[in-house]
Amino acid sequence: MDYTIFAVAIFVVAILVFGGVFLIRPRRPESGQPGAGEESAPSAGTAVAEPEEAEEAGTATAGTVTAEEPEVPPTEVETPPPSAGRMVRLRARLARSQSTFGHGLLNLLGSDKLDEDTWEEIEDTLVTADVGVTSASQIVDNLRTKVKVLGTRGPDEVRGLLREELLAQINPDLDRTVRTEPHGTRPAVIMVVGVNGTGKTTSCGKLARVVVGDGHSAVLGAADTFRAAAADQLETWGGRVGAPVVRKDEGADPASVAFDAVARASEGDDRADTVIIDTAGRLHTKTGLMDELGKVKRVVEKRCQVDEVLLVLDATTGQNGLRQARVFAEVVNVTGIVLTKLDGTAKGGIVIQVQRELGVPVKLVGLGEGPDDLAPFDPETFVDTLLE
Amino acid sequence: MFETLSDRLTSVFTSLRGKGRLSEEDINSTAREIRLALLEADVALPVVRDFIARVKERARGEEVSRALNPAQQVIKIVNEELVEILGGETREIRFATKAPPTVIMLAGLQGTGKTTLAGKLGMWLAGERNTPLLVAADLQRPNAVTQLQVVGERASVPVFAPQPGNGVGDPVEVARESVEHARRNNHNVVIIDTAGRLGVDSEMMQQAADIRDAVEPNEILFVVDAMIGQDAVNTAQAFLDGVGYDAVALTKLDGDARGGAALSIRHVTDRPIMFASTGEKLEDFDLFHPDRMASRILDMGDMLTLIEQAQKTFEESEVEKMASTLASEDDFTLDDFLQQMSMVRKMGPISNLLGMMPGMGQMKDQIGDVDDKDLDRITAIIQSMTPAERANPKIINGSRRLRIANGSGTQVSDVNGLVTRFFEAQKMMRQMKNGGMPGMPGMPGQGGGGGKKKAKAQGKKAKKGKQRSGNPMKAKQQEAEKAAERERRREQGGEQPQQLPPGLGGGAGGPQLPPGLGGSNTPNVSDFKLPKQ
């Protein structure tokens, strides 16, 4: 029997249902000159993206600024396991993971003449770090223009320019503090979201340690009611630092778990300063699950304002990371990114693109499986280590 | 932005449409586009370089094809190369012939889905009349053992977990014992779930190697996430050096990642990709099909999966009934449509289905907007009509429209739009039934070959748009054309009716086009028979 008939059926349905959409919209990209369209498309894209970025950055900072006064600067730094060591470790780890990247760039810039091939290789090196083709070519183009304008030739100067350029892409001015301070009697609420297997539960556990290490109390909400044993995993983490875990049976409504966690932290004997809600991993393409995530946030907000929505991105993720970030930002208004598994060979360059497109800053980095391998993200260190 | 490789190429080639062959310049400008498309699909840079070199080489030596325009020619080459790299045939598990049990070991980075895959693999093997045993050798991550136990329970596969995990116990010992345990309890397959580890973590890699040496697995599967980026090459190499593996399992393919990593890993390590995991449910697991992956990387749709899904969902009789409605003498009515829509909906969200159609990549955004709620609305409108109106929508006048709109809780304009679109669809169906090609009045596609049409096709090339020419098709392939034509019309706003549909593929013996372009690779299309009048 032949099933291609379904193709026909689907098309008929599509035409009838979305006819208007499909008949009208796709005209646009074609109307321009094909050759020029190709060139102009990316720049048009960024032109649109920039105001958005600025705006989002604005709201992001605005959002935190209001709540900032009582805040202890980078919370994690004050954690008992020597906080200073965290940055050193970040540096050391990055040095390991990024060495090829840094060295490659250095060698390229160190060569006497900067010809077309060199530029191309710089671009390729950036692409290899998952920076993305668009970002990479923009960085290189900017660098080229600067070198031309300034007439720079020396490798050191060019290196300085590259550092500036990379820093500019990461935008060091963004507020990267994670809000964990309670508002009066109301606890701070942190929601952790992301696709499957990026390390959400682990990040929640580590974050709880940081909060407790800071002298605050934390309640963990195991709103991952889908994956087998996710709540157990979180409980193990919570048990280590004495943070209670609010959990329900597998398959329970995650929104209700989250709500209960917040309720428990805001009243009674178990009153806590910070609530960390671990959500189930979900692919951003599953609209049903994304709606569920939106619901979790809405339900929590009935009780308490959500201070932070942290998107956990895996450093190994390629260009798909951008799509993930985009969809999650749409659904739950992501306020920060946790870049995990940076201790491997992956470079996590996708972060540059995500920040550029969405203006959402990377706030924390995960550097390993150890319980304290979570550090605040420092753009300067990040870039410096790239170039060291 | 241009989403698909074919769009990129088409844009490069619009200026040279009249030419029938590839010049050196064409090849070079194309190479850049292919490079970008592959990089955006997360294919690793060194692999892209090699790949481009090969494609260039072939494109230069390629005979000028009279049936394909340059863009099609390049896509054909690229597709063939991709399929070749991804491995021609599907690889099966090598079972231990002499001394059972067969041992399968899973290894990979953290969070790639090893534990879940273990459960899926166990269930899949059990379905193939094996008696698998899952072994919890991930003693690192908190509660990984519990997770495997739960997964095993769901899959009804026994789990061997002598150690509680959470950092307690020796995985090597567990693995060794498990084989003994399996032998005693008559399990013929042992699946060892190991802890996630980084390629640079020499201590953990040594542990993996120790497990390997202890149990001498028949198959080591490297589990990798389809979303992985440029790092795929490093990691794959590190694991190959550290543990070694025989095949790759690709997970999380249900997302929208293009999975270029599959290509990178295959190219760098020369290990075949054996399994693909495509969802959160335990059944969402299957052998890997290289040709489908190639289409996915190029974003050319996935007709095969679509058809399989249909096969799984429907009985043959239902399909026959549907086919007969579509091809019956009577006019296509709203009732028929309603029925069709409910069948299509059974197959899954409409946006997913559309995504599987070839050439829909550039409409990704629109597809993303598409919501099944729109379908509900349409259903409501149609159900608010009287049977007479459904059979003959022509009688729907102003006051009927208002009534229908009120009845369905929609606006009159919605009803208008639906009716207009319906007439359009009806006209198309009629043309299709008459054996003509919709939108191609000058070319009643009575099928059969003939140079005459080819000439015509070539002549029409000069017309605007991203048309592709092709050689004539057989009448029985018209179905594919209809589909492609409709899609094309939507893409191009329904104007320019003289255009050739992209689906104009070769007939039997014609040049092979990649699936996205029709041709004899397009599954089953050639089997489709329209009842002749």
Point out the least confidently predicted range of A27-36, A246-255, A358-367.
A27-36
Name the band, by pLDDT with cuts 50, 70 and 90, for residue A268: confident
Task: Look at phi and psi of residue A368 and say left if phi exceeds 0, alpha if psi is from -120 to 50, else beta.
Answer: left
Yes or no: say if A270 and A219 are a contact pair by the CB < 8 Å rule: yes
Yes or no: say if A259 and A302 are a contact pair by the CB < 8 Å rule: yes
Higher confidence at residue B515 or residue B341? B341
Burial B321-336 (b: 16+ CB within 10 A, else e): ebbebbbeeeebbbeb
Can you tell me the mean pLDDT for B464-490? 44
Q: Is the pLDDT of residue B264 over 90?
A: no
Around Cβ A213, how many Cβ atoms within 10 Å? 17
Task: Please list the residues that pair with A220 across neighbouring strands.
Answer: A245, A276
- pLDDT at residue A335 in the model: 93
Amino acid in the structure at residue B302:
D
- pLDDT at residue A15 in the model: 66
**d(Cα B197, Cα B331) in Å, to the nearest integer?**
62
Cβ of B492 and A320 within 8 Å? no
Q: Phi/psi at A123 (nearest 5 deg)?
A: -60, -45
Cβ of A347 and B231 within 8 Å? yes
Yes or no: say if A10 and B303 are a contact pair by the CB < 8 Å rule: no
> ipTM of this model?
0.71
Mutate: best of B45, B110, B303, partner A, most A CBs <10 A: B110
For residue A209, which residues of chain B lie inside 8 Å, CB to CB?
A: none
- pLDDT at residue B367 in the model: 62
**d(Cα B491, Cα B360) in Å, to the nearest integer?**
9
> How far are the Cα atoms of A190, A255, A331, A358 from residue A298, in angstroms, in the given order?
13, 8, 11, 22
pLDDT tens string B1-28: 334 555 666 666 665 555 556 677 777 8
Q: Does A3 touch chain B (CB under 8 A)?
A: yes
Yes or no: say if B274 and B304 are a contact pair by the CB < 8 Å rule: no
Can you tell me the mean pLDDT for A67-89? 42
Long-range Cβ pairs for the range A208-211 (8 Å, 24+): A208/A237, A208/A238, A208/A241, A208/A243, A208/A276, A209/A79, A209/A237, A209/A240, A209/A241, A209/A371, A209/A372, A209/A374, A210/A75, A210/A76, A210/A79, A210/A180, A210/A374, A211/A75, A211/A180, A211/A243, A211/A273, A211/A274, A211/A276
Around Cβ A237, how many Cβ atoms within 10 Å? 26
- pLDDT at residue B378 in the model: 85
Yes or no: say if B210 and B236 are a contact pair by the CB < 8 Å rule: no
Higher confidence at residue B461 or residue A296? A296
Cβ of B418 and A124 within 8 Å? no
Point out the least confidently predicted range of A337-346, B112-121, B308-317, B462-471.
B462-471
Higher confidence at residue A295 or residue A4? A295
For residue A313, which residues of chain B lie inside 8 Å, CB to CB?
A: none
Q: Does B109 touch chain A (CB under 8 A)?
A: yes
- pLDDT at residue B57 in the model: 84
Per DSSP, A176 falls in state -
User: Mean pLDDT score of chain B, rounded to an integer?
Assistant: 73
Q: Is the pLDDT of residue B492 over 50?
A: no
Yes or no: say if A258 and A224 are a contact pair by the CB < 8 Å rule: no
Name the band, by pLDDT with cuts 50, 70 and 90, for residue A193: very high
For residue A344, which residues of chain B lie inside 8 Å, CB to CB?
A: 109, 198-200, 231, 235
Q: Is the pLDDT of residue B248 over 80?
A: yes
Please name the member of A26, A343, A347 whose beta carbon is closest to the beta carbon of B490.
A26
**d(Cα B81, Cα B24) in Å, to the nearest integer?**
20
Q: What is the dihedral of CA A309, A314, A319, A320, to 10 degrees?
A: -60
Q: Is B121 annotated as a binding residue?
A: no
Around Cβ A225, how many Cβ atoms within 10 Å? 20
User: Mean pLDDT score of chain A, rounded to an integer?
Assistant: 75
- pLDDT at residue A89 in the model: 59
Residue ranges per domain, chain A? 86-170, 188-377
**d(Cα A317, Cα A344) in Å, to the nearest integer?**
12
Point out the least confidently predicted range of B77-81, B398-402, B472-476, B478-482.
B472-476
Q: What's the predicted TM-score (pTM) here?
A: 0.69
Q: Which percentage of chain B shows pLDDT scores above 90?
A: 18
- pLDDT at residue B255 in the model: 77
Name the band, by pLDDT with cuts 50, 70 and 90, for residue A318: confident
Cβ of A318 and B257 within 8 Å? yes
Cβ of B198 and A34 within 8 Å? no
Yes or no: say if B103 and B221 are a contact pair by the CB < 8 Å rule: no
The helix (H) or strand (E) run that includes residue A246 is: strand A245-246
Per DSSP, A345 falls in state S
For residue B228, which residues of chain A lie inside 8 Å, CB to CB?
A: 316-318
Q: Phi/psi at B108 (nearest 5 deg)?
A: 165, 180
Identify which of B108, B307, B271 has the alpha carbon closest to the alpha carbon of residue A316: B108
Name the band, by pLDDT with cuts 50, 70 and 90, for residue B476: very low
Q: Is the pLDDT of residue B402 over 50?
A: yes
pLDDT tens string A28-71: 333 333 333 333 333 333 333 333 333 333 333 333 333 333 33
The helix (H) or strand (E) run that includes residue B29 is: helix B24-40
**How many beta-carbon contacts under 8 Å exist across A and B?**
302
pLDDT tens string B26-59: 778 778 878 888 888 888 888 888 888 888 888 7
Domains and CATH numbers, chain B: 3-86 (1.20.120.140), 102-300 (3.40.50.300), 314-433 (1.10.260.30)
Yes or no: say if B485 and B429 are a contact pair by the CB < 8 Å rule: no
Yes or no: say if B40 and B297 are a contact pair by the CB < 8 Å rule: no
pLDDT tens string B319-341: 777 777 766 667 778 888 888 88
Higher confidence at residue B354 or residue A134? A134
Tokens representing residue B3 in the block: 């989403």
Alpha helix ranges (H) inside A278-388: 287-303, 320-332, 350-358, 379-387
For residue A237, which residues of chain B lie inside 8 Å, CB to CB?
A: 142
Amino acid in the structure at residue A224:
D
Strands B273-277, B285-287: pairing kind = antiparallel
Amino acid in the structure at residue B242:
G
**A23 Cβ contact partners less than 8 Å away, ≥ 6 residues apart:** B489, B490, B493, B494
Tokens representing residue B328 in the block: 């019956």
Cβ of B366 and A18 within 8 Å? yes
CATH class of A86-170: mainly alpha
Cβ of A29 and B280 within 8 Å? no
Quick check: helix, strand or coil at residue B360? coil
Residues 191-210, chain A, touching B (beta carbon < 8 A):
195-199, 202, 205
Identify which of B172, B170, B174 has the alpha carbon closest to the alpha carbon of residue B160: B174
Cβ of B198 and A343 within 8 Å? yes
Name the band, by pLDDT with cuts 50, 70 and 90, for residue B444: very low
**d(Cα B115, Cα B157) in Å, to the nearest integer?**
13
Q: What is the Rg, in whole angstroms, of the alpha carbon atoms belonging to chain B? A: 27
**d(Cα A104, Cα A125) in Å, to the nearest integer?**
7
**d(Cα B350, Cα B367) in Å, to the nearest integer?**
9
Q: What is the Rg, in whole angstroms, of the alpha carbon atoms belonging to chain A? A: 23
Can you tell me the mean pLDDT for B177-200? 91
Fold of A188-377: Rossmann fold (3.40.50)
